């Protein structure tokens, strides 16, 4: 059957009227890839699967939530939407607003948005406003605009975003024929861990599937949930999760507690190592923030946290092509040859 996006696929699980016309770019239905090479590289006893959300239309998981939030905004006759963003939400909001024929405003921390994400927001036609502040400042301003005007907020404080994002759990359960034992993902504003947990719980209640332990990872310089207090000046190479005061903090704590899961820290060095390991062993290029799910898994494997009976899914939340600058830093540059056969052959060093 023709695939028509997450609303058509999972409409009965979503709080939208049955006849609502989806604003969709055919998001979802992303690859769940068994990562045997990565498993060997980590020396892990458990099965590892990577849910590659970078395969979504704007290159991140945000599209799952945005299709539902934008469809709801159109139903409510909104004229404009707004979000604060570390990059991916703004790219997704701008694209879905373009498709819906709505105006989009995006408020971004100046100088901290990966080049691809900025290009996306601009080319999809959003009005981009940079502020001399971080994501938390941007979200505070956007919340106030939501109170003072009719502009609809499409950050994950909009519950329709969470509803859409929970469909990733549904896809995983359907593909594996059951829930994994553990689910690892990066945590920034904490909307996604909230959404995945909601998805696992709702599917489980209806179909009797088990629940995974949720494993969340924050960057060491932006780890408010781990440290138990707001981080005023968050810093990390993984700009997508450079967030010091997550909006869904409480819900994340609840998901961790209810699932008997845990949240931990990964350093920028561990994040970049994991990003390269995923690319070079599995052929999947994810962005730095996404790699924290695998960086965290690596730490837990070393502690002996898993057995052969376990299945771990890591969400790779965004596409590496969004942030080529970070990926090319500190990497071996290309070799150079004169435009003659023998020079090239010499560098190849093969018989
Ligand atoms: C690639 O785009 O917050 O914990 O404004 O882009 O649900 O926030 C992005 C977050 C992980 C964290 N991986 O998810 C934004 C934004 C990537 C991301 C996260 C983000 P949440």
Q: In 3-state terms, what secondary structure has residue 243?
A: coil
Q: Give the residue-averaged pLDDT of 159-184.
A: 98
- Residue 25 is predicted with a pLDDT of 98
108 lines ligand 1 (CB under 6 A): no
Q: Which tokens in the block code for residue 30?
A: 């992303």
- 97-126 tens-digit pLDDT: 999 999 999 999 999 999 999 999 999 999
88 lines ligand 1 (CB under 6 A): yes
Nearest ligand 1 atom to alpha carbon 88: 2
Angle at 295 between CA 294 and CA 301, to 5 degrees: 80
Q: What residue owns the CA closest to ligand 1's atom 12?
A: 188
Q: How far is the CA of 323 from the centre of ligand 1 (A)?
A: 14
Q: How far is the CA of 331 from the centre of ligand 1 (A)?
A: 25
121 lines ligand 1 (CB under 6 A): no
| Residues β-bridged to residue 264 | 217
Q: In 3-state terms, what secondary structure has residue 184?
A: strand
290 lines ligand 1 (CB under 6 A): yes
- Residue 50 is predicted with a pLDDT of 99
Report the length, in residues, of the chain. 351
- Residue 11 is predicted with a pLDDT of 97
Q: How far is the CA of 314 from the centre of ligand 1 (A)?
A: 15
Q: How far is the CA of 315 from the centre of ligand 1 (A)?
A: 12
66 lines ligand 1 (CB under 6 A): no
Nearest ligand 1 atom to alpha carbon 90: 2
Residue keyed to tokens 């939208």? 16
With bands split at pLDDT 50, 70 and 90, how would you rate the model's confidence at 144? Answer: very high
Q: What residue owns the CA closest to ligand 1's atom 1?
A: 318
Q: Cβ(213)–Cβ(181) under 8 Å?
A: yes
- Which residues, at least 6 apart from 95, have a Cβ–Cβ distance to it below 8 Å? 25, 57, 58, 63, 66, 120, 124
* Rounded-to-integer distance, Cα 136 and Cα 57, Å: 26
218 lines ligand 1 (CB under 6 A): no
- 222-262 tens-digit pLDDT: 999 999 999 999 999 999 999 999 999 999 999 999 999 99
Closest to 169 measured CA to CA, from 191, 195, 199, 198: 199
Q: How far is the CA of 248 from the centre of ligand 1 (A)?
A: 12
* Rounded-to-integer distance, Cα 269 and Cα 273, Å: 6
Q: How far is the CA of 86 from the centre of ligand 1 (A)?
A: 7
How many angstroms separate the most distant Cα atoms in the chain? 71
Q: Cβ(39)–Cβ(56) under 8 Å?
A: no
191 lines ligand 1 (CB under 6 A): yes
Burial class from Cβ neighbours inside 10 Å (0-12, 13-18, 19+) for residue 351 reads exposed
Handedness of CA 198, 199, 204, 210 (dihedral sign): negative
DSSP letter at 237 equals S
Nearest ligand 1 atom to alpha carbon 87: 2
Position 316 pLDDT exceeds 90:
yes
Q: Give the residue-averaged pLDDT of 276-297.
A: 98
- Residue 83 is predicted with a pLDDT of 98
Position 146 pLDDT exceeds 90:
yes
Q: Which tokens in the block code for residue 312?
A: 């771990």
What residue spans of the chain are helical by DSSP H? 6-9, 36-42, 62-75, 88-100, 115-123, 135-148, 159-165, 167-176, 191-207, 224-227, 249-258, 268-282, 288-302, 324-328, 341-348
Q: How far is the CA of 241 from the centre of ligand 1 (A)?
A: 6
Q: Give the residue-averaged pLDDT of 10-35.
A: 97
- Which residues, at least 6 apart from 326, have a Cβ–Cβ distance to it below 8 Å? 114, 237, 272, 287, 288
Q: How far is the CA of 346 from the centre of ligand 1 (A)?
A: 45
Nearest ligand 1 atom to alpha carbon 194: 7
Query: Helix %, strand %, coil % for the chain, to 5?
Result: 50, 15, 35
Q: Cβ(51)–Cβ(172) under 8 Å?
A: yes
- 44-83 tens-digit pLDDT: 999 999 999 999 999 999 999 999 999 999 999 999 999 9
Q: In 3-state terms, what secondary structure has residue 173?
A: helix
Position 36 pLDDT exceeds 90:
yes
Q: Which tokens in the block code for residue 298?
A: 């690596």
Q: Give the residue-averaged pLDDT of 270-289.
A: 98
Q: Give the residue-averaged pLDDT of 271-281.
A: 98
Q: How far is the CA of 1 from the centre of ligand 1 (A)?
A: 32
- Residue 330 is predicted with a pLDDT of 86
Q: Give the residue-averaged pLDDT of 281-302.
A: 98
pTM of the model: 0.97
- Residue 20 is predicted with a pLDDT of 96
- Residue 351 is predicted with a pLDDT of 81
- Taking the CA of residue 51 as centre, how many other CA atoms within 13 Å lie in the half-sphere pointing to its CB? 30
* Rounded-to-integer distance, Cα 90 and Cα 131, Å: 14
Position 1 pLDDT exceeds 90:
no
């Amino acid at each position: 059957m023709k695939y028509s996006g997450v609303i058509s696929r999972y409409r009965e699980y979503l709080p939208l009227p049955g006849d609502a016309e989806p604003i969709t770019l055919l998001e979802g239905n992303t690859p769940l890839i068994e990562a045997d090479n990565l498993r060997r590289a980590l020396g892990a006893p458990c099965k590892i699967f990577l849910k590659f959300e970078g395969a979504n239309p704007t290159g991140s998981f945000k599209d799952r939530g945005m299709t539902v939030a934008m469809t709801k905004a159109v139903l409510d006759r909104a004229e404009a939407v707004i979000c604060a963003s570390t990059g991916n939400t703004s790219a997704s909001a701008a694209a879905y607003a373009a498709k819906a024929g709505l105006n989009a405003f995006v408020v971004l921390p100046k100088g901290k948005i990966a080049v691809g994400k900025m290009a996306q927001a601009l080319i999809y036609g959003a009005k981009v406003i940079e502020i001399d502040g971080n994501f938390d400042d941007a979200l505070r301003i956007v919340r106030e605009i939501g109170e003072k005007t009719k502009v609809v907020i499409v950050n994950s404080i909009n519950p329709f975003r969470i509803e859409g994002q929970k469909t990733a759990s549904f896809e995983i359960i359907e593909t594996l024929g059951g829930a994994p034992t553990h689910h690892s993902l990066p945590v920034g504003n904490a909307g996604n861990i909230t959404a995945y947990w909601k998805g696992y719980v709702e599917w489980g209640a209806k179909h009797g599937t088990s629940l995974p332990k949720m494993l969340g990872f924050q960057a060491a310089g932006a780890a408010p949930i781990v440290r138990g207090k707001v981080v005023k000046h968050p810093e990390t190479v993984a700009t997508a999760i450079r967030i010091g005061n997550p909006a869904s903090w409480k819900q994340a704590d609840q998901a961790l507690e209810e699932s008997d899961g845990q949240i931990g820290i990964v350093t920028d060095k561990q994040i970049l190592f994991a990003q390269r390991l995923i690319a070079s062993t599995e052929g999947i290029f994810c962005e730095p923030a996404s790699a924290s799910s695998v960086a965290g898994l690596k730490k837990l494997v070393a502690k002996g946290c898993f057995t052969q009976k376990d299945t771990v899914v890591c969400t790779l939340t965004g596409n590496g092509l969004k942030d080529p600058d970070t990926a090319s830093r500190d990497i071996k540059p290309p070799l150079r040859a004169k435009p003659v056969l023998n020079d090239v052959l010499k560098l190849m060093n093969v018989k």
